[in-house]
């Protein structure tokens, strides 16, 4: 298949995604528990957008001619890496499908994709749409299974040439070890985070409160880059905390298929119990529980939107990834202090900065050790913007032009020249 034909397949697929928006969105809500409106208005349209973006790249991937000393013609070839093994998580099944499958297909690879055992439905459905769009059978192979069995088999397989994984840091370490012990296949990892959300004294407080709420509670708090450490300057701390509490109390929790619902259930009982355990830890550590802290309703894995104030850096709720609807608000005094504290984490996935001062923004964006820093915004995921982490938040970048290198091999071809007219 030519690069242009690959591009046309991806474009047809994007059209089919838009045609079946409601069916795909409903499946994603059944899959994951996220609100139908979130899937239908944001995630499914982004799925189509991402594939159109990679369709645009498919016929623009090429090598270079390179000048060399001596009578030689040197060119580089950008070749498909081969069989790409891909393991996606349960929190954003459709978007992670796009982040991985899109660039791999644009570069001309074949794929074995393992879905999370909790959320197999939408990948299987859109995989069928890719076949309908003209993707040859056998190019994309979707496996539903558990990590210790299907995931481990994929990571350690000698015929898999590349591995991409999104999930927890602990599982990422296992994936990396299995890849190394087998055939040293290159690995891209997008892992956990404990992202700082820094509200400076000159920030628009009402705007910052709303975006801090979104940064943490979006997708039931099950987001790797969630702004889960909210650092607020001492001069506006009390005002921010009161408004953050009020916003959390007004958050609409319930049936994800009902219009206006902002928060559905957590993914499963394991995650539900884990979040409640962290909430208990926060109370026992003497953080102030401003609101929430309990199960929502009498059935289902719903948790009340929870806000803690007076949180200290040494508390578990300020150090570990909760992956749930629990906002922790910390106080700071100086910019140098908040830089040091924000960076004092094993993670480095993302950060948010809220200030009207361009010098403050420039200082923080360069000082924070994170793969993405959002200034006066949060969770902006354009198809062209690369995403990935520092430190234990991962290896490599996904999305944008940077993602293409994950699925290409560079080959140098050197040919001797006889009596060249020029060099």
Are both 36 and 151 inside the same structural domain? Answer: yes
Residues ≥6 apart with Cβ < 8 Å to 245? 290, 291, 307
Same structural domain for residues 167 and 263?
no
Q: Are residues 156 and 237 in the same domain?
A: no
Which domain covers residue 347, as residue numbers?
196-375
Among 384, 404, 385, 406, CA closest to 395: 406
Distances (CA, A) of 121 to 132, 248, 320, 328: 17, 31, 30, 33
* pLDDT grade for 150, boundaries at 50, 70 and 90: very high
Is residue 23, in this structure, part of any structural domain at all?
A: yes
Span 193-229, pLDDT tens digits: 999 999 999 999 999 999 999 999 999 999 999 999 9
Indicate the pLDDT class of residue 125, thresholds 50, 70 and 90: very high
pLDDT digits over 306-350, tens only? 999 999 999 999 999 999 999 999 999 999 999 999 999 999 999
Q: How does 361-387 read in b/e, with b if 16+ C-beta sit within 10 Å?
A: bebbeebbbbbbbbbeebbebebeeeb
- Examine the domain organization and report whether 408 and 357 are in the same domain: no
Looking at the structure, do residues 235 and 154 belong to the same domain, yes or no? Answer: no
Whether residue 240 lies inside any domain: the answer is: yes
Q: Are residues 204 and 175 in the same domain?
A: no
CA-nearest of 175, 136, 138 to 157 is 175
Same domain for 230 and 172: no
Question: What pLDDT was estimated at residue 32?
Answer: 93
| CATH number of domain containing 183 | 3.40.605.10
Which string of b and e fits 255-277 if b means at least 16 CB within 10 Å? ebeeeebbbbbbbeeebbebbbe
Domain CATH number, residue 364: 3.40.309.10
Inside any domain, residue 254: yes
Tell me what the mean pLDDT of segment 105-125 comes to. 97
Over range 95-100, report the average pLDDT: 98
Quote the mean pLDDT of the chain.
Answer: 97
Residue 386 domain-assigned (yes or no): no
- Active site amino acids: 190
**Closest to 97 measured CA to CA, from 132, 57, 137, 144:** 144
pLDDT at 190 over 90: yes
Same domain flag for 406 and 293: no
Please say whether the beta carbons of 79 and 411 come within 8 A.
Answer: yes
- Does residue 116 surpass a pLDDT of 90? yes
Same domain, 217 and 162: no
Same domain? For 175 and 309 the reply is no
Instruction: Indicate whether 419 belongs to any domain.
Output: no
Residue 380 lies in a domain: no
Of 106, 368, 326, the C-alpha closest to 222 is 326
pLDDT tens digits for 23-79?
999 999 999 999 999 999 999 999 999 999 999 999 999 999 999 999 999 999 999
Q: How many structural domains are present in the chain?
A: 2
CB half-sphere exposure, 365, CA atoms < 13 A: 14
Q: Are 137 and 165 in contact (CB under 8 A)?
A: no
Predicted pLDDT of residue 423: 86
Q: What pLDDT, on the 0 to 100 scale, is given for residue 71?
A: 96
Residue 60 inside a domain? The answer is: yes
Question: Based on the domain organization, do 245 and 357 belong to the same domain?
Answer: yes
Whether 382 is in a domain gets the answer: no
pLDDT at 156: 98
Give the residues across from 375 on adjacent strands.
Answer: 353
Q: Are residues 79 and 180 in the same domain?
A: yes
């Amino acid at each position: 298949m030519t690069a242009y034909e690959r591009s046309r397949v991806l474009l047809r697929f994007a059209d089919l995604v838009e045609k079946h928006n409601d069916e795909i969105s409903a499946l994603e809500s059944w899959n994951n528990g996220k609100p139908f409106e979130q899937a239908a208005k944001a995630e499914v349209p982004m799925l189509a957008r991402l594939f159109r973006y990679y369709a645009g790249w498919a016929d623009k991937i090429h090598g270079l001619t390179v000048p060399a000393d001596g009578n030689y013609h040197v060119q580089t070839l950008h070749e498909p890496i081969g069989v790409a093994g891909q393991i996606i998580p349960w929190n954003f099944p459709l978007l992670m499908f796009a982040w991985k499958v899109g660039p791999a297909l644009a570069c001309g690879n074949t794929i074995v994709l393992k879905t999370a055992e909790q959320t197999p439905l939408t990948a299987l459905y859109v995989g069928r749409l890719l076949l309908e769009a003209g993707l040859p059978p056998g190019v994309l192979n979707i496996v539903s299974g558990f990590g210790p069995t299907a995931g481990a088999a994929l990571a350690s397989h000698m015929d898999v040439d590349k591995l991409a994984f999104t999930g927890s840091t602990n599982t990422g370490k296992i994936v990396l070890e299995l890849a190394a012990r087998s055939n040293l296949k290159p690995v891209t990892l997008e892992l956990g985070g404990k992202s700082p959300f820094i509200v400076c004294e000159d920030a628009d407080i009402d705007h910052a409160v709303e975006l801090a709420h979104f940064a943490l509670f979006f997708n039931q708090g099950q987001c790797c880059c969630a702004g889960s450490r909210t650092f607020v300057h001492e001069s506006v701390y009390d005002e921010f905390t009161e408004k953050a509490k009020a916003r959390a109390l007004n958050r609409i929790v319930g049936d994800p298929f009902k219009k206006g619902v902002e928060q559905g259930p957590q993914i499963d009982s394991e995650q539900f119990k884990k979040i409640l355990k962290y909430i208990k830890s926060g109370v026992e550590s003497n953080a102030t529980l401003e609101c929430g802290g309990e199960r929502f309703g009498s059935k289902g894995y719903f948790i009340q939107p929870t806000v803690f104030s007076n949180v200290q850096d040494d508390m578990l709720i300020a150090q570990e990834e909760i992956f749930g609807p629990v906002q922790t608000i910390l106080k700071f005094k100086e910019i140098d202090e908040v830089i040091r504290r924000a960076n004092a984490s094993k993670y480095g996935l993302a950060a948010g900065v809220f200030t009207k001062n361009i010098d403050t923004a420039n200082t923080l964006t360069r000082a924070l050790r994170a793969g993405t820093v959002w200034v006066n915004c949060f969770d902006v995921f354009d198809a062209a913007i690369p995403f990935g982490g520092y430190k234990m938040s991962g290896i490599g970048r996904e999305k944008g032009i940077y993602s293409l290198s994950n699925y290409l091999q560079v080959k140098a071809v050197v040919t001797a020249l006889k009596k060249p007219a020029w060099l």
